[in-house]
Structure 1
């Protein structure tokens, strides 16, 4: 998938993290996949991103999730390839995917907690990001 000659782009890291949140409960819901797709298609950070790479990022995440230390490996890849200035962006995207289907299950909450820790997201900033995601995904 990736090697030292072809590191992940920052956009690959964002996509991989969104997919990881969706896959955390072993049930990729349509609303979550639509959120990932719309994020990649609409946000300026993905303007030059090849949307076909989403499939390869999904394969990477699924392969890593089958390994004992796969989540640690994923976080290592993200820390190595995602600029620090995008850590809060990554967390916001992860929260949006988690909230997209209107429910947050225990595995998604645990993964979001791990993301906060791994990306060193300040608790107050995390709370604001989480509240924004909740507000954007409230049912009518």
Structure 2
């Protein structure tokens, strides 16, 4: 990863979504659609070119293939994102995890690592997770 150009805030957020989606070694169509929808609709991505999503996801995947790749991605994301976007990043991660209407143990592990990396408080975590449950509930 040495010599790599710094990534944008938007790309750091994409990395967060990718590590959740890829955590169980398969990115489902629902997860990919969720990532695409959030990039198209959320204000944090308003100035981001959607054509850069796949190259960003590939760069994240390349880093994940390195020794200690997950730790490298978490460190990079934590260094790039301003503290005011930690809860946003976690909310994006939860949305991707919930996209398949069930959360795998690998995804839970990534969410725990993100909570720790971002030092999110229990109320913020509970609110984000509860909101995702409400949004993804079926009739």
Quote the residue 2:74 is aligned against: 75
Q: In the TM superposition, what are the counterparts of 1:9-28 in structure 2 within 5 Å?
A: 9-28=8-27
Report Cα offsets for 1:78-125 as digits up to 9, x if no partner: 112111100000000000010011010100001100100011111221
Structure (1 or 2) with the greater helix fraction: 2
Q: CA deviation at 1:127?
A: 1.3
1:36–1:114 CA distance, 2 compared to 1 (3 A): same
Contact 1:9 1:81 in 2 (8 A): yes
Q: CA deviation at 1:50?
A: 1.1
Deviating 4+ runs (over 3 angstroms):
1-4
Cα distance in 1 for partners of 2:27, 2:91 equals: 19
CA RMSD of aligned residues (A): 1.5
Cα distance in 2 for partners of 1:93, 1:3 equals: 28
Q: In the TM superposition, what are the counterparts of 1:50-129 in structure 2 within 5 Å?
A: 50-129=49-128
Gaps in structure 1 of 5+ consecutive residues: none
Cα distance in 2 for partners of 1:84, 1:47 equals: 19
Q: Is 1:134–2:133 an aligned residue pair?
A: yes
Contact 1:102 1:139 in 2 (8 A): no
Aligned residues: 139
Cα distance in 1 for partners of 2:73, 2:109 equals: 15
Q: CA deviation at 1:2?
A: 8.6
Quote the residue 1:43 is aligned against: 42
TM-score (norm 2): 0.93
Partner-residue secondary structure (3-state), 2:50: coil
